[in-house]
Chains A and B, each alone.
Chain A
């Protein structure tokens, strides 16, 4: 699904991402962990064609992501508040993005119903602008919007950050549910080892821009904790 070849990004001759090869297959639940400044967000940005790589390329479904808009139809993402429109209410925002995906009103309703649990009554049906929402609620709007358009790939950068404990659990359930109902590839980064090992079957550890570990299997949490304890 996503193929990364010889990808490098340097700022003023300091490499921040250096990945010779990385492949993420369809229906894979891929987790990304690493210390602060390890390059997780930069990697995601390069996959989403927000940052131009110094070298190498990212291929989505066999085609280079750069310079074409096709992948945007089936890749949903949420990295930070720059993905939200602060002067719209969440309802208006969902409607707007829905339009980009040719959603009908019924589609939109079906969509928001899915997230009602997560929203906890604070997001939809309110007259509050996104810009006035708390950080946690902002995240919820963004995460939900990433699922608009029934994407095949969903990329989330630290989705559990800023969420209250109930919401974290609900989000986890939602992510797992979605994957069960259809073919879905996740790219999720997180600092929360517990959550990410529960959702993802494959975890990649990034340090100073390089892949240090590529783990699969059942003992993920123990291995990760051992690594970070060192």
Chain B
């Protein structure tokens, strides 16, 4: 029976309106995953050598154990951004003689198929079977399995978090607090995390006790997730979002901008009143803090200034990437409305441009305080903002027209997954790489500042040529309207 669900899931994927786009994205992701697997495995094999010979640590086991907790912190972050919630449009199955528990087990199992869940064995197995086994015999199994269990446990923690807390203020604060503490404890050295880590994992080889405790914990997490998902199978409860976010009125200053202003107002309501778009907004504001991680380290500011371009684009353009790639899909549910009312598509497209730009500018203004870390930072961010406004905005708007799929805001999503996951980031890659095309030539010639200037100027040109680019974008939308509309009509 669970097999049938997998088959349906596959059919849904292959018969999807966005099939070629999703296929391309997933192939790309698979490629990345394979590379990751390859590198991890390779790394796993040479760990011993790196530690003893490269880093000149006497006891490789102890050293590695010290790093394990840091590794899990890293994995937690990766999981938060890369892991998707498993989603099944359960309604068609609820009234059938299919046990609900089966459906939940299917969802939980499906979510486990993820490269992140084999990262631990890939990285640590070779080391375990050589070094650790040599010293502790079968204790090596305990060690490896304990690590793996913790990883899987985190999988469920993230799952629970994303399912239950992702859209809420407490969840958001908890996340900030967690990352904040992690960063702070590392920066200020409040407690020697590496010592705790070292002791903890060294203990695992003594006997199976720790492993058993961890496994028990993971089983509890699975059980808890199971109950949680089981209780969330009432479709109507998803839509009863009694939040006060939505009771927004029109932003009156936009009223003076005519139809374009009306459309922006509408979209603001959309963003604030729907869970998934709120999520995107939260995520974007969260990424404003990204700078704190990177700007504080000289390794980046001095050593790899080019990398900072990336950060600058991220900080100012994150909303553009995450919201913009589905730009037309959010309103896909009422695209026919747009096509049958006296709306000019030009105004429609223009309103979207101003929305994306507006948020980008706001992000830029909010990130100005980063100048604390140096004028160069401000320069980079300004250049990136200009580039985002003048180039990336058009790129994203046009990319969003590639086989868009309706996003059913009310009932979760029509994707195979929910929320922000790896596939969404793939769409952001052209955006992030763009600036480098203009920066690198100058940087390699030895004039990085000129490179920045070039990026900024290209952005300015794009901004100045806005009417022209918007016209092209509108024309593209116009020529695709039938196909896009038909795609949106499908469920």
Contact = CB atoms under 8 A, between A and B. Distances in A.
B410 A86 contact: yes
B334 A48 contact: no
B485 interface: yes
A82 B333 contact: yes
Given A51-B482, A86-B409, A87-B246, A96 B266 contact: yes
A86 B339 contact: no
Interface residues of B, number: 28
A138 to B, nearest CB: 12
B342 to A, nearest CB: 4
Contact of B270 (A79, A87, A127): A87
Contacts of A72: 340-343
Contacts of A83: 334, 336-337, 340
Contact of B259 (A73, A92, A100, A129): A100
Interface string A71-88: 011010101111111111
A191 interface: no
A49 B339 contact: yes
A100 B341 contact: yes
A3 to B, nearest CB: 19
A85 B273 CA distance: 12
Interface string A156-179: 000000000000000000000000
A88 B269 contact: yes
Contacts of A195: none
A99 interface: yes
Given A50-B485, A82-B488, A129-B273, A87 B409 contact: yes
B489 interface: yes
Main secondary structure of the interface of A (DSSP, over half): loop
Contacts of B336: 50, 79-80, 82-83
B479 to A, nearest CB: 11
A12 B262 CA distance: 39
A50 B274 contact: no
Contacts of A75: 340
B335 interface: yes
Contacts of B485: 50-51
Contacts of B482: 50-52
B339 A84 contact: no
A81 B334 CA distance: 8
Contacts of B239: 131-132
Given A72-B342, A84-B334, A131-B410, 17 more contacts: A48-B340, A50-B340, A69-B342, A72-B341, A73-B342, A79-B336, A82-B335, A82-B488, A85-B334, A85-B337, A88-B266, A97-B341, A100-B259, A100-B262, A100-B341, A100-B342, A131-B239
29 contacts: A49-B339, A49-B340, A50-B339, A50-B340, A50-B482, A51-B482, A51-B485, A52-B482, A72-B340, A77-B340, A79-B336, A82-B333, A82-B335, A82-B489, A83-B334, A83-B337, A83-B340, A84-B334, A85-B266, A85-B334, A86-B334, A86-B410, A87-B246, A88-B269, A92-B269, A97-B341, A100-B262, A127-B247, A129-B273
Interface of A: 48-52, 69, 72-73, 75, 77, 79-88, 92, 96-97, 99-101, 127, 129, 131-132, 149
